[in-house]
Amino acid sequence: MNDDESHVPMTGEEKIAWVYGAVVLLTSGAYFVWLATQFAAHPADEIAWEVPLLITLGASIVLTIVGTILGAIGGAVWQGIWGRFEEPDFTTDERDRAIKELGNRRMFAAMTAGVVGTLVLAMLNVDTLWIGNWVFLACSIGALAEVVSKIRAYRRGV
């Protein structure tokens, strides 16, 4: 009985946070690297960014769903290999909700900065390439701020 903490798997909510963070880093990172190569090769007004951005958004959604499922299966297999299998726990409790609220506050702060920046860009009447990509950058930073604060809270405390 006193061996309770010999092995403590992550909660379902924490696993989802890790998957989401990895997916945002991967997809947004890939998109901005691609965009940088386009800036190096073409004038800004010739860059067709809309479709790649939509593909990035779609890929983020699909990869988060697939990653969450694979993470659950992989975790169970890993635990099975080490003989520590536990029933997956998808309970969401008050601590998860407190951590979610914390993450939302961090994301909101980043998004607010993004909205202010968007207003400034619109007032300056800049090309939609800058506005669209600024908004996407703000969303990506907001998502990462959310994930980092949630994982930190799961590890260090709320």
Partner 1 sequence: MGGPKPTRVSNRIRELRTERELTQADIAAKLGVTRQTIIAIEQGRYSPSLEMAFQIARVLEAPLDDVFQYREAADS
Q: Name which position in 44, 54, 93, 120 contacts partner 1 (CB under 8 A).
A: 93
| 125 counts as binding partner 1 under rule CB under 8 A | no
| 91 counts as binding partner 1 under rule CB under 8 A | yes
Q: What's the rounded Cα separation, in Å, for the pair 94 and 117?
A: 35
> Do 6 and 139 contact (CB within 8 A), yes or no?
no
Closest distance to partner 1 from the beta carbon of 128 (Å):
40
For partner 1, the closer CB: 43 or 157: 157
| 46 counts as binding partner 1 under rule CB under 8 A | no
For 78-102, b where at least 16 C-beta lie within 10 A, e where not — what string?
Answer: eeeeeeeeeeeeeeeeeebeebbeb
Q: What dihedral do alpha carbons 54, 59, 60, 66 form, nearest 10°? A: 160
| 6 counts as binding partner 1 under rule CB under 8 A | no
Residues 70-89 that bind partner 1 (CB under 8 A): 89
Residue 123: CA atoms inside 13 Å, Cβ hemisphere, count?
A: 6
Q: Which is nearest to 27 in space by CA: 152, 136, 149, 148?
A: 136
Which range in 9-17, 65-73, 116-124, 134-142 contacts partner 1 by CB under 8 A?
A: 9-17
Closest distance to partner 1 from the beta carbon of 29 (Å):
22
Structure tokens, 78: 């890993």
Residues within the interface to partner 1 (CB under 8 A):
1-2, 4-5, 8, 10-11, 14, 89, 91, 93-96, 98, 152, 154-158
